[in-house]
Structure 1
Amino acid sequence: MHDVDFSVYPNEVVALVGGNGAGKSTLLEHLNATLVPDDGELVVEGTPVTEDNRQHARKEVGFVFQDADTQLVAPTVLDDVLFGLQNYGVPDSDTQERAREALATVDASHLEDRVPHYLSGGEKRLVGLAGVLVLEPSVVVLDEPLAGLDPERSQLIADRITQIHEEGISVVLSTHDLEFAAEVADRVCVMADGNIVGSGTPQTVFYDDVLLENANLHPPSAVRIAREAGLTPTAQPVTEADLISLLTASAEEEASQRTVQDKR
């Protein structure tokens, strides 16, 4: 990475998109001081982070890795969620309740006695997310949260991301799935060649052909269909729901105009 200027603001979902090798995972690993920059600085909640105070970043910025197995370390799911609390010296009297609340938040209470490594990919992601949420971070970072998941489990993860965002936690995620980014993100940052080459709302980014072409990306299906149907530039749908709403309104308007003409 080079010359990257990136900030996360309260109560927003930011999606990092870009091709393989663009630098998405490397940037994410700097956000909780898994990596510390050789030049420049990382500031978390107003505190500059160095080799000596990485724990500050790791408590404020929870990281859910793409390979969930790398962060599942305990014999049961409940023990795994408890691990972070015990690591930070939280009194035992508080840990069980907080761990169970975190599992309930991601709808995974039924998994608490299961062995983590026998879970499905989607279940492991939920447990990893609970293990992060239990520390009450300001920001949750997810590296390719949908990788390897089927559509049902992908929607489950998307729903949980929306849920924790609604609870006031900022979310940063990397993804190759622009449909997913359009659905959940308030802001999209495009990465290429180790830098952020463009950012803005999903509408701004996904209708910028030059930006997407330079990053070797294709716009979401809703954008392509809207253009083929001649619905742009007056409207800029980026999700399937946006597109359906727009097409429904257009059809109703045409029907209304025909009714008026028939009466004449």
Structure 2
Amino acid sequence: MSREDTPLVDLQCEAHTYPDGTVGMHDVEFSVYADEVVALVGGNGAGKSTLLEHLNATLVPDDGELVVDGTPITEDNKGHARKEVGFVFQDADTQLVAPTVLDDVMFGLQNYGVSGDEAKQRAREALATVDATHLEERIPHYLSGGEKRLIGLAGVLVLEPSVIVLDEPLAGLDPERSRLVADRVRQIHQDGISVVLSTHDLDFAAEVADRVCVMADGNVVGSGTPQEVFYDDALLTSANLHPPSPVRVARDVGLDGSARPVTESELVALLTDGTADSEPIQSIDGSGDD
């Protein structure tokens, strides 16, 4: 996918090696543009988290460069990267530092010198954005996993970044909490913030992403729209991935190859259009109408 506009974040990483000698990433070129959701998919050890942590200078390339909002990032201005690129870690507890939820969301603002009253107002606005106003007086460490993810997200949103990065945002969540987090990702995007996320859940990636990047062995081995990536069998096989369930069902029922549904709603629409005058079809979960 080619873009002519200037990226918000542009990473060129020839190599990143961890202290134990493990090569986490190599020969990676990765950019994030305005008004997009990018999903990184790949197996364990593919390099997804390593790439994400380079986007706000939590990690830095051994050989390469990170440019954020037109500014090359050095040791002296990492703060610029961390303000423009908000990071929500997979382990939400690592970001919860204050005695109450409201204090926690205010924490980053206060570090930037925002006054108490203004910080409190902005923190409450951020909590409202993630539908968590009712949690403001709760103790963060007693929240559920999904609630902690939302508070971590609010703590990033309050700093008004250009890009938000989420590392495995659905990990360990039940379906209801996963739906809630997915809804907030969509809302953030609608509010004009670009989102980059890693996930093992390709159905989730198909639902929320404008662009999908496939990682394997520390490199981005392919990218494109969900329709391009999730119907590319060779690409998915190279990364030991299976296509989302709607893609598999579309093939099983013999849909025209030009139709490329990647979400359940797209698949249902196509099947409904094609079977309006025929017997009811079996539902996606394998059950039929009784």
Q: Deviations over 1:100-127 (max 9, x none)?
A: 0000000000000000000000000000
> CA shift at 1:234, angstroms?
1.9
Distance in 2 of aligned mates of 1:35 and 1:54: 10
Query: In the alignment, which of 33, 37, 51 is matched to residue 13 of structure 1?
Result: 37
Q: Which amino acid letter does the alignment assign opposite residue 60 of structure 2?
A: V
Alpha-carbon contact 1:76-1:113 (below 8 Å) kept:
yes
Distance in 1 of aligned mates of 2:111 and 2:150: 20
Distance in 2 of aligned mates of 1:24 and 1:244: 31
Are 1:149 and 2:149 counterparts? no
Q: Aligned residue for 2:81?
A: 57
Distance in 2 of aligned mates of 1:192 and 1:253: 45
Are 1:176 and 2:212 counterparts? no
Alpha-carbon contact 1:63-1:142 (below 8 Å) kept:
yes
Query: In the alignment, which of 109, 112, 120 is matched to residue 88 of structure 1?
Result: 112
Identity, in percent, stands at: 80
Alpha-carbon contact 1:36-1:50 (below 8 Å) kept:
no
> CA shift at 1:252, angstroms?
2.3
Pick 1 or 2: higher relative contact order, CA cutoff 8 A, min separation 6.
1
Alpha-carbon contact 1:77-1:127 (below 8 Å) kept:
yes
> CA shift at 1:253, angstroms?
6.4
Alpha-carbon contact 1:14-1:187 (below 8 Å) kept:
yes
SS at match of 2:28: coil
> CA shift at 1:37, angstroms?
1.0
> CA shift at 1:89, angstroms?
1.0
Query: In the alignment, which of 215, 225, 230 is matched to residue 239 of structure 2?
Result: 215
Query: In the alignment, which of 194, 197, 203 is matched to residue 227 of structure 2?
Result: 203
Distance in 1 of aligned mates of 2:156 and 2:191: 15
Query: In the alignment, which of 149, 163, 175 is matched to residue 187 of structure 2?
Result: 163
Q: Which amino acid letter does the alignment assign opposite residue 187 of structure 2?
A: Q
Q: Aligned residue for 2:264?
A: 240
> CA shift at 1:51, angstroms?
1.1
Query: In the alignment, which of 140, 150, 155 is matched to residue 126 of structure 1?
Result: 150
Are 1:43 and 2:67 counterparts? yes
Query: In the alignment, which of 70, 78, 96 is matched to residue 102 of structure 2?
Result: 78
Q: Aligned residue for 2:134?
A: 110
Would you tell me which structure has more helix in proportion to its own residues? 1
Alpha-carbon contact 1:13-1:184 (below 8 Å) kept:
yes
Q: Deviations over 1:30-60 (max 9, x none)?
A: 0011011111100000000011100000000
SS at match of 2:45: coil
> CA shift at 1:232, angstroms?
3.5
Distance in 2 of aligned mates of 1:21 and 1:89: 39
Q: Which amino acid letter does the alignment assign opposite residue 273 of structure 2?
A: A
Are 1:97 and 2:117 counterparts? no
SS at match of 2:221: strand
Q: Deviations over 1:78-101 (max 9, x none)?
A: 000000000111122311100000
Size of the aligned set, in residue pairs, is 255
Query: In the alignment, which of 125, 137, 140 is matched to residue 164 of structure 2?
Result: 140
Q: Deviations over 1:134-183 (max 9, x none)?
A: 00000000000000000000000000000000000000000000000000
> Which stretches of structure 1, 4 residues or longer, exceed 3 Å deviation after superposition?
none
Q: Which amino acid letter does the alignment assign opposite residue 192 of structure 2?
A: G
Q: Deviations over 1:223-262 (max 9, x none)?
A: 001001110412000011111011001012669xxxxxxx
Q: CA RMSD in A?
A: 1.0
Distance in 1 of aligned mates of 2:85 and 2:56: 5
